[in-house]
């Protein structure tokens, strides 16, 4: 693992080039180009706003500026889910490259993570512009943005490395991941406030719910963006214990995912 990490550092330029390629290919020959990075979340925002903000009337429950609450969760979740979905099949989809050329194979799933991260940053700039346009004062929590981005990237990288390696031997993993992420989305407070969980579930069930590390990551994103003075007592929930648990689990998953990838890498060409 230490040897592979050293080689990966030596090939960091390859990671950069593959990331640039993925960024350019995603919207190649598209009329709007990179603007799709902004259009996609805005369309999702419209759908969820109508469903939850109008039909189910979450605003009537005391949700101030619900549209910003939605964006605070949807953008980082899309970054996470898109990274994992693309990374799972990254080794299999580049079979010819894996068989013919030597390079650290972990560059493949990580390049998708980096390209998704690039689009996520573009989308966050759009969100920041909306906050400024609507004169929403940001809280000091906004300074934690880079740290939270690194935390989520570590969690996504560990999961991507693990699943992409296992998918080489069991192709069902790729199909299962799509279904699992859909269920995971609804088990995470992205479009609904976590207060719904505390109010509708018994304490023991709520504790089980909060074992979901992505729940704490989403809550942190919502606290950074949505926890502004206009929201008062409706500020996003934050648990120091949950945050510590998420940091430890993310680091362990990153180590486990990279270790498993390194262990299985030598047999990739045989099973692709």
With cut-offs at 50, 70 and 90, classify the pLDDT of residue 233.
very low
The pLDDT tens digits of the residues spanning 82-99 come to 999 999 999 998 888 888
Per cent of the chain over pLDDT 70 is 84
Distance set, CA 149 to CA 14, 143, 183, 216, 224 (Å) = 22, 11, 23, 13, 12
What confidence score (pLDDT) does residue 173 get?
92
What confidence score (pLDDT) does residue 85 get?
94
What confidence score (pLDDT) does residue 232 get?
47
Residue pair 219/240 in contact (Cβ under 8 Å)? The answer is: no
Overall domain count for the chain? 1
Say which range, 80-84, 126-130, 201-205, has the weakest mean pLDDT: 126-130
The vertex-171 CA angle with 270 and 17, nearest 5°, equals 70
When pLDDT is averaged across residues 34-48 and rounded to a whole number, the result is 69
What confidence score (pLDDT) does residue 59 get?
53
Residue pair 156/83 in contact (Cβ under 8 Å)? The answer is: yes
The pLDDT tens digits of the residues spanning 165-204 come to 999 999 889 889 999 999 999 999 988 888 888 888 899 9
* More reliable by pLDDT, 28 or 121: 121
What confidence score (pLDDT) does residue 60 get?
45
Length of the chain: 272
What confidence score (pLDDT) does residue 29 get?
59
Domain that holds residue 44: 2-271
With cut-offs at 50, 70 and 90, classify the pLDDT of residue 41.
low
Q: How many angstroms separate the CA atoms of 191 and 129, rounded?
A: 21
pLDDT at position 157 over 60: yes
Q: pTM here?
A: 0.87
């Amino acid at each position: 693992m230490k040897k592979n990490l050293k080689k990966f550092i030596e090939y960091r330029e390859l990671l950069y080039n593959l990331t640039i390629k993925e960024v350019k290919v995603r919207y190649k020959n598209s009329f709007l180009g990179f603007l799709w990075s902004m259009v996609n979340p805005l369309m999702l925002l419209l759908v969820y706003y109508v469903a939850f903000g109008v039909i189910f009337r979450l605003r009537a429950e005391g949700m101030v500026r619900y549209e910003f609450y939605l964006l605070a969760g949807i953008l980082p979740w899309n970054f996470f889910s898109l990274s994992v979905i693309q990374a799972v099949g990254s080794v299999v989809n580049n079979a010819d490259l894996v068989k013919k050329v030597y390079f650290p194979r972990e560059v493949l799933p990580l390049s998708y993570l980096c390209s998704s991260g690039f689009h996520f940053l573009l989308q966050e700039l759009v969100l920041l512009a909306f906050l400024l346009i609507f004169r929403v004062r940001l809280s000091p929590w906004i300074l934690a943005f880079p740290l939270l981005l690194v935390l989520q990237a570590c969690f996504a990288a560990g999961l991507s490395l693990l699943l992409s390696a296992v998918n080489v031997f069991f192709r069902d993993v790729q199909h299962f991941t799509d279904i699992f992420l859909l269920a995971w989305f609804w088990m995470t407070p992205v479009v609904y406030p976590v207060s719904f969980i505390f109010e509708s579930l018994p304490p023991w069930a709520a504790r089980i719910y909060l074992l979901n590390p992505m729940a704490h990551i989403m809550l942190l994103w919502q606290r950074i963006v949505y926890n502004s003075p206009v929201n008062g007592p409706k500020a996003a929930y934050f648990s120091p214990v949950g945050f510590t648990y998420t940091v430890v689990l993310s680091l362990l998953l990153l180590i486990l995912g990279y270790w498993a990838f390194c262990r299985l890498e030598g047999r990739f060409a045989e099973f692709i």
